[in-house]
Amino acid sequence: MANIGARIERIPDNKYNRKMLIRTGFGNTFDSMDIAMVAFVLPSLIGLWSLTSEQAGILGSSVLIGYFFGAFFSGWLGDKIGRKKVIMYTLVIYCLATLASAFAAEWEHFFWMRVIAGIGTGGESAILAPYLSELIASRYRGKYIGALTGFHSFGYVAAAVIGYFVIPMSEDWGWRIALIITALPIFLVLYWRRTLPESPRWLESSGRLEEAEKEMSRMEANVEKYIGKLPEPTEFVQPPKAKGSFFTLWNKKFVKRTVMVWILWFSVIFSYYGFFTWLPTLLYNEGFEISKSFMFSILIYLAQIPGYFSAAFLNDKIGRKKVICAYLGLGAVSALFLSQADTSTTIIIAGFFTSLFMVGGMAGMYTYTPEQYPTIIRSTGTGSASAFGRIGGLLAPIYIGFMYPIYGFIGVFLMTTGVLLVGMLSTLILGEETNSKPLDDLTADDDDINKVG
């Protein structure tokens, strides 16, 4: 009997795949809009609560603190209870916490609500890439996971637009209304409940073969609405069942991959959140009024769209490893130029390319990471790498908050240059190309997968 992987591999690219991309992409868009909004409300909060640079840095890291726990535990839960349930529950958590943060009366209350919101956004972002990767044939996977990551850019641009038009409307209520708007996607859960399938790969790996067959048959029926009768799948022997855990990531087969992706995630997320969380405030501190700093941010955030989607296109053309190394290397060069920029034009140009190349590397990273692990630990592996990366993400705004008064604009972006280079080198030295390899080829033997060390 053909297994689920064989049945998915013979499905050509089609309209159903694209619909699944859009459905899951909504999650990344709203996650990023929620995270990015902190950067735009931060200047208002600094004035409202007379925050020090250090306190502002702590607030800037609040979402990332929750993100760490959300990403780690959602990966584990995704392998235990299923991908779909985690996607829906995490959406509800972040929307409700974001709504509560809009009514915060003091910065400590705002901080804790943003931490809880981060649990939701972190959990959802960590589970979406492995989920979609399990539904797409290997020859299209790089394009789709890169494009899925690209939906983050729409969230950042939406946050910048809301920040530009809504926050200046009222000194007292502008930032609160902006946060209320970012909580509205809670209604998306009703749509997801009806349209998202559970991963048949995960159901199969969990021994729930009847449910796997039901979901797979439903997927095939949806695909055949657009392309007609599917060809018969290649016959595969059902792989033996094995159990995995967090400790499986550290056995002999996976330890080099795990070290590589953890360094990569830490480097990219440190640079990403340090850059985007502080960008409007740094521009404001450099002498640009708040409305102009928000407009500059919109232009720089717009660079994420070509960054993500160019990398998504190249993922399947030249390979994930080359995409990551090329984009992070060019991002480091752009950050170096940004550190020397001293006019509006040079800041926008250097910031545009820093943004473009940084997120392009992220598109490669989100595609590359789920491919390092078999189904039974794919969610755990991706979630733990994402969680470790969030340590860098939560440290970056705090570190910049302390560093900026001492080393200024130049020091912040020289640091970004160095950190991006570390991520590039870890992939170059430790990484192996995974381009177009079927996910089932990553499955280890039982003896390997259950043995640590």
Confidence of residue 29 (pLDDT cuts 50, 70, 90): very high
Average pLDDT over residues 36-56: 86
d(CA 46, CA 54): 11
Mean pLDDT of 417-442: 80
DSSP 8-state code for residue 251: S
Q: What is the pLDDT of residues 142-153, one digit of tens each?
A: 889 889 988 988
For position 399, what pLDDT does the model report?
78
Q: What is the pTM of this model?
A: 0.78
Above 70 in pLDDT, residue 212?
A: yes
Contact 152, 29 (CB under 8 A): yes
pLDDT bracket for residue 287 (50, 70, 90)? low
Sort residue 335 into left (φ over 0), alpha (ψ -120 to 50) or beta.
Answer: alpha
Please report the pLDDT score of residue 374 as a whole number: 83
C-alpha radius of gyration, the chain, whole number? 21
CA angle 8, 9, 14 (to 5 degrees): 75
Residue 330, φ and ψ in degrees, nearest 5? -70, -35
**CB burial of residue 356 (10 Å; 0-12, 13-18, 19+):** buried
Section 386-413 average pLDDT: 77
Of the candidates 3, 2, 9, 1, the residue with the CA atom closest to the CA atom of residue 437:
9
SS3 for 80? helix
Instruction: State in words which class domain 13-229+245-433+441-449 has.
Output: mainly alpha
- Structural contact between residues 71 and 390, judged by C-beta atoms closer than 8 angstroms: yes
Minimal CA–CA distance to 366: which of 30, 127, 90, 203?
127
What would the two tokens of residue 59 be?
């607030």
For residues 124 and 243, give the distance between their C-alpha atoms in angstroms, rounded to a whole number. 24
Average pLDDT score over residue span 267-293: 69
What is the rounded distance in angstroms from the CA atom of residue 435 to the CA atom of residue 444?
18
Considering the chain, what is the average pLDDT of its residues?
Answer: 84
Q: In which band, very low, low, confident or very high, does the pLDDT at 437 lie, cut at 50, 70 and 90?
A: low
pLDDT band, residue 441 (cuts 50/70/90) = low
- Rounding to the nearest 10 degrees, give the CA dihedral for residues 176, 177, 180, 181: -140
Instruction: Work out the pLDDT band at 286, boundaries 50, 70, 90.
Output: low
pLDDT at 453: 41
Comparing 188 with 286, the larger pLDDT belongs to 188
Banded pLDDT at 187 (limits 50, 70, 90):
confident
Length of the chain, in residues: 453
pLDDT in tens, 74-118: 888 988 899 999 999 999 999 999 999 999 999 999 999 999 999
Query: What is the predicted pLDDT for the residue at 447?
Result: 46
Q: Which residue in 420, 61, 73 sits closest to 266, CA to CA?
A: 420
- Which of 248-257, 294-303, 390-399 is most confident? 248-257
- For the chain, the domains span 13-229+245-433+441-449
Which position has the higher pLDDT, 29 or 57?
29
When mean pLDDT is compared across 129-133, 209-213, 288-292, 408-412, the lowest value belongs to 288-292
Helices 344-368, 375-430: axis angle to 10 degrees equals 130
Average pLDDT for residues 311-316, to the nearest whole number?
89
Q: How many other CB atoms are there within 10 angstroms of residue 284's CB atom?
A: 19
